[in-house]
Amino acid sequence: MSEADLEGFRQAGLVARRVRELARKLIREGAPVLGICEEVEEAIRGEGAEPAFPCNVGINEVAAHYTSPPGDSLQIPPRSIVKVDLGVSLDGYIADTAATVSLAPELEPLAEASRIVLRKAIESMRAGVPVYRIGRVVEEAARSLGFKPIRNLTGHEIRRYELHAGLSIPNVAAICPGKLESGHVYAVEPFLTTARGAGEVVSARLSTIFRADPSRAKLRKLGGRERELLAFLIERFRGLPYTPRWIEGFEKLRAVHEKLVRSGRIYSYPVLVEKRGEPVSQAEHTIIVFEDGFEVIT
Ligand code: MN
Ligand code: MN
């Protein structure tokens, strides 16, 4: 990676860190989730960057992929544990970070555990380390604190213009191919649940985040309004995840959008919930790996 690329990722990381710290303060009992999502995304734009994906707010057993739909009336419930996960794209340089806020003292150890486990995982990172070893660090650290990692959620490599590229970084001691490389960028994101949890997420019926893949679009076989909407979504979001909140006048397009989702032309990310309904915490940083160590950019 060139010095200019390193600087690009570092700048994106600085923005992501500032916005994450702002987001933490927005999470209070009764706060509207829609307001949190909008404020986070506006703060990213206010720094001259773009959200790399819609702001995720995961409450209690909701682990990932929930963003407010248009007109959402959901509020942060009392005594909840809340994850906020945000991505910053600055000229294609992406930083991905998440934090957990606990609004109940009994959930604080779960929130704190994901931070401790993330720190341990990061300290094990340098070029040549096999990714399964990071998974082992995460799992052992989580279990020693009395919690369970979510086995089917992983971290990931990041490249310019590509949020999920190359390697996956597991959260359990599982067979997972690949070694960390110098000059590469990785998002590490342990998700933890209680010892009673299944340590696994399942898909809920709801989807709030979507993606139109430019390479898989078969516009020719589509007619009229479906073709028009799909072409618009590809042009506007260039293959990045989006929320209907970002589309003006979505209400009028809802039925056509739904049709494109049902036919598989638009990918929908189901909301992911802990299988036994147990609370989930998450911590995430974006890290550049070097021959002899690491640099946390978020
Ligand atoms: Mn993330
Ligand atoms: Mn991530």
Q: What would the pLDDT profile of 91-140 be if each residue is shown by its tens digit? A: 999 999 999 999 999 999 999 999 999 999 999 999 999 999 999 999 99
Q: Check pLDDT > 90 for residue 142.
A: yes
Within 8 A by CB and 6+ apart from 160, the residues are 5, 8, 92, 93, 94
Catalytic positions: 85, 96, 156, 164, 189, 284
Work out the pLDDT band at 160, boundaries 50, 70, 90: very high
- Ligand nearest the Cα of residue 163 is 2
| pLDDT score, position 172 | 97
Residues, CB-to-ion distance under 5 Å, ligand 2: 96, 187
Is the separation of the CB atoms in 291 and 123 below 8 Å? no
Q: Check pLDDT > 80 for residue 155.
A: yes
Work out the pLDDT band at 216, boundaries 50, 70, 90: low
Give the three-state DSSP class for 129: coil
CA 219 to centroid of ligand 1, rounded, Å:
31
Residue 131 has which token pair?
A: 């990714």
Q: Which CATH class is domain 3-203+279-296?
A: alpha beta
| pLDDT score, position 174 | 86
Average pLDDT, the chain: 96
Work out the pLDDT band at 63, boundaries 50, 70, 90: very high
CATH 1.20.950 fits 209-271, yes or no: no
| pLDDT score, position 108 | 98
CA 232 to centroid of ligand 2, rounded, Å:
26
List the Cα angle 235/155/172 in 5-degree steps.
150
Domain residue ranges of the chain, discontinuous segments joined by + = 3-203+279-296, 209-271
CA 126 to centroid of ligand 2, rounded, Å:
19
| pLDDT score, position 150 | 98
| pLDDT score, position 223 | 78
In 27-107, which ranges are continuous DSSP H helix?
33-46
| pLDDT score, position 97 | 98
CA 85 to centroid of ligand 1, rounded, Å:
5
CA pair distance 81, 66, nearest whole angstrom:
14
CA 97 to centroid of ligand 1, rounded, Å:
5
Positions of E strands within 21-109: 50-59, 62-64, 81-90, 93-102
Is the separation of the CB atoms in 76 and 58 below 8 Å? no
- pTM, two decimals, is 0.96
Q: Which residues lie across from 169 on neighbouring strands?
A: 155
- Ligand nearest the Cα of residue 165 is 2
- Ligand nearest the Cα of residue 188 is 2
- Ligand nearest the Cα of residue 158 is 2
CA 189 to centroid of ligand 1, rounded, Å:
7
CA 24 to centroid of ligand 2, rounded, Å:
17
Is the separation of the CB atoms in 291 and 127 below 8 Å? yes
